[in-house]
Amino acid sequence: MIDWRIRGREFVNCNCAYGCPCQFKALPTHGACEAAMGFQIDEGHFGGTELDGVRAAGIYKWPGPIHEGGGEMLLIVDESATQAQRDAMITILNGEETEPMATIWAVYTAMSSKILEPLFRPIDFSVDVENRTARFVVPGVIDGSGEPIRNPVTGDIHRARIDLPHGVEYELAEIGSGTTTTKGAIALELVKSYGQFAEIHLSNNGVVRSAA
């Protein structure tokens, strides 16, 4: 197995209510699961290929809960990535060179029966995990943004976090509100739904724990 490890920041927007039942092993808010995710690697490698600065994205859609399968997925890697970096990212995001079900990407792939040809497009991505803000654009494909949740009475910013000591994506995520439109093979319209902002640190074996 090729050794790989990445550390970076992600923004994920799905169609569920704030909190996302999937995070608690419960069924999706509306029955089906739809999501768009983007991230930037601050430091990483895949074998001898450096991945620092590489950006990638994914669009996912399932007719029911993820664990029931039958999903479709589309991966996108920033066009500025070299061929070696593109190959590495597609491998990682397809759950290859990874212990079975050790990462969220391995789970998504295993639960998808339709895997579309990846795209290589410019990705405009910025995220402030602490302040729960994000901007996520792939021209003609994805237009997404994230912001803090606000108190419906006072308008004050509300802060909530999810701590998953045994998760397959992150250890701690800040929760906010996301709005994302996707076009093309997988069209989504997500409006002020679950937004996830997290520092990610992953390897072949899954999440690299802070204690490690």
Burial of 32 (0-12, 13-18, 19+ CB in 10 A): middle
Mean pLDDT of all residues in 70-85: 98
Mean pLDDT of all residues in 139-157: 97
Residue pLDDT, tens place only, 155-178: 999 999 999 999 999 999 999 999
Residue pLDDT, tens place only, 102-131: 999 999 999 999 999 999 999 999 999 999
pLDDT given at position 211 = 62
pTM of structure = 0.96
Element of type H or E holding 108: helix 104-110
pLDDT given at position 59 = 98
- Domain limits of the chain? 4-207
